[in-house]
Amino acid sequence: MSFKDLGLSPAILDALDAAGYTEPTPIQAGAIPVALSGRDVLGIAQTGTGKTASFTLPLIEKLMNGRAKARMPRSLIITPTRELAAQVAENFEKYAANTKLTMALLIGGVAFGPQEQVLNRGADVLVATPGRLLDQFERGKILLADVQVMVVDEADRMLDMGFIPDIERIFSLVPPRRQTLFFSATMPKEIQRLVERFLNNPERVEVSRPAMAATTVNQLLIRVKDKTPKAKRDALRKAMDRDGVKNGIIFCNRKRDVDVVARALQKHGYSAAPIHGDLDQSTRTATLEKFKTGEVRFLVASDVAARGLDIPAVSHVFNYDMPHHADDYVHRIGRTGRAGLQGEAITLAGPEDGKSLAAVEALIGTKIELLDAKPGDAKPKAADTPAAEPEATTEDNAADETAQPDESTTSDSPRPEGGARRSRRGGRSKSRSRGKSEGDEKRRDEREEISPSSGGGGKILGFGDDVPAFFRNS
């Protein structure tokens, strides 16, 4: 099957040919014809399968005729992170090169002035993160009454980041008679309830079992018996020194560990750079560009980079920390082994990670092969079943409570608005509920203070004078 068989117009086919795409992926072949027919789509596919084109191509096709009114976009694409929004914008520009469609990119951390200019002229497509979209809607800068197609990308990541209340509100603001294209890598119960509430008899397009690791990724495990951070970083460096490691993404659970690990690697002569939600947008964009071009060899990341980002030819993923949620393991290792290439994922597990490791192995349906932390070690052996963790003592519980990351400062979640934080006294942090306030706390990353900007032109706006290279070259 080719893209010509999917019912796309010559203008889009020419753009695909120019980009070097000739055959659709399974998720594209299944979702595009359904979307073109006007039905709602529920797309389920693991990362790296081409979900972005599954909704951008039919969106372009449906919007080619017509023109947007001022501040009233005709379509809306919601993504959980700034990086993913920027990637969707890049792909839209590539595929819509032969059309006159306009697009605005609405994300936090950048000046709103240029974004407002294109919205005032009329944007056919609005790509946005939830917090920034609602901010500007509440200020009267955007009207959603003319949205014909709404796209939700990486819905399960929205759940992880506490954005579901925002998504529910956005659904309530767009017209009820609209087409919805809803994509997710996994389908937890909360996402299923969202689908049942807001989608109208959707066609389910599923190309692989949810939460199944890609077969192109060789998964290995290193057990770190010593609990000290120094021993863990030493095991990481030995894993990075293995044969065949060209580049890689190193995932940490907490932002402070991202910075610590990156500095430690730099101290030992590795080309490494951190990326997480506390860094400003221009720094995050520049870091990703350096990694894509090879100027930076290793990217030390929190889960902000674990979903949706299309970074080609990543040879390795290193899980410095076992992820808090088993689903995140699948999304992390999905950064390698993309587009038919082979990749390798190496996970470090300490004595305290037994339950998390068991949850990951139960999810992926297989044991992760055990690898000794020695450079060049070639032949892994099967891992033993993780031992049950001993009963925690009162002293252990106190230590664990102290070590738990304060979500407002150390996790990948953005800080609460206004910089408000819970006081931490006596070396122990009080547990906080994960109720409605979580969404507000996690939208802080998208409500950073914005400096006024006066420039900007062209179709993609919102970066002021710091337009990423991939926008300039698209």
In this structure, the answer to whether residues 250 and 186 fall within a common structural domain is no
pLDDT for the residue 261: 97
Domain-located, residue 386: no
- Strand 248-251 vs strand 316-319: parallel, antiparallel, or unpaired? parallel
In this structure, the answer to whether residues 223 and 176 fall within a common structural domain is no
275 near 287, Cβ under 8 Å? yes
Backbone angles phi, psi at 435, to 5 degrees: -85, -145
- Strand 248-251 vs strand 217-223: parallel, antiparallel, or unpaired? unpaired
Task: Give the total number of structural domains in the chain.
Answer: 3
Task: Give the ranges where 4-69 is alpha helix by DSSP (H).
Answer: 10-19, 26-36, 51-63
In this structure, the answer to whether residues 178 and 149 fall within a common structural domain is yes
In this structure, the answer to whether residues 348 and 414 fall within a common structural domain is no
Residues forming a β-bridge with 78 = 128, 152
b/e sequence 14-36, b meaning 16+ C-beta within 10 Å? ebbeeeebeebbbbbbbbbbbbb
The CA distances from residue 76 to 124, 152, 419, 429, 440, in Å, are 9, 8, 30, 40, 22
By three-state DSSP, how is residue 169 classified? Answer: helix
d(CA 418, CA 447): 9
In this structure, the answer to whether residues 331 and 398 fall within a common structural domain is no
In this structure, the answer to whether residues 308 and 438 fall within a common structural domain is no
d(CA 439, CA 437): 5
- Identify the domain boundary among 324, 355, 370: 370
Domain-located, residue 383: no
- Strand 75-78 vs strand 125-128: parallel, antiparallel, or unpaired? parallel
CA-CA-CA-CA torsion for 102, 171, 113, 305, nearest 10 degrees? -90
Domain-located, residue 235: yes
In this structure, the answer to whether residues 345 and 306 fall within a common structural domain is yes
In this structure, the answer to whether residues 227 and 355 fall within a common structural domain is yes
pLDDT for the residue 295: 95
pTM metric for this prediction:
0.61
Among 87, 163, 153, 158, which Cα is nearest to 131's? 163
In this structure, the answer to whether residues 256 and 348 fall within a common structural domain is yes
300 near 248, Cβ under 8 Å? no
Question: Widest CA span of the chain, in angstroms?
Answer: 68
Structure tokens at 447: 């409500």
- Identify the domain boundary among 370, 386, 404: 370
Domain-located, residue 150: yes
In this structure, the answer to whether residues 234 and 200 fall within a common structural domain is no
Among 88, 128, 126, which Cα is nearest to 108's? 128
CATH number of the domain that residue 23 is part of: 3.40.50.300
In this structure, the answer to whether residues 262 and 357 fall within a common structural domain is yes
Domain-located, residue 385: no
b/e sequence 308-325, b meaning 16+ C-beta within 10 Å? bbbbeebbbbbbbbbbeb
pLDDT for the residue 304: 66
pLDDT for the residue 327: 78
pLDDT for the residue 47: 66
Edge-to-edge strands, sheet with 179-184: 103-106, 125-128, 75-78, 149-152, 179-184, 41-44, 203-206
Domain-located, residue 376: no
**What single string gives the DSSP state of each residue in 357-423?**
HHHHHHHHTSPPEE--S-TT----BPPPPPPPPPPPPHHHHHHHHHHSPPTTTTSSSPPPGGG----
457 near 104, Cβ under 8 Å? no
Domain-located, residue 422: yes
Distance, C-alpha 432 to centroid of its chain:
25
**What single string gives the DSSP state of each residue in 175-205?**
-SS-EEEEEES---HHHHHHHHHH-SSPEEE
Domain-located, residue 389: no
**What single string gives the DSSP state of each residue in 216-273?**
TEEEEEEE----SHHHHHHHHHHHHTSTT---EEEE-SSHHHHHHHHHHHHHTT--EE
Its domain, for residue 75, covers 3-210+450-473
Residue ranges for the chain with pLDDT beneath 50: 210, 373-474
In this structure, the answer to whether residues 34 and 59 fall within a common structural domain is yes
- Identify the domain boundary among 370, 403, 418: 370
Structure tokens at 289: 């560009």
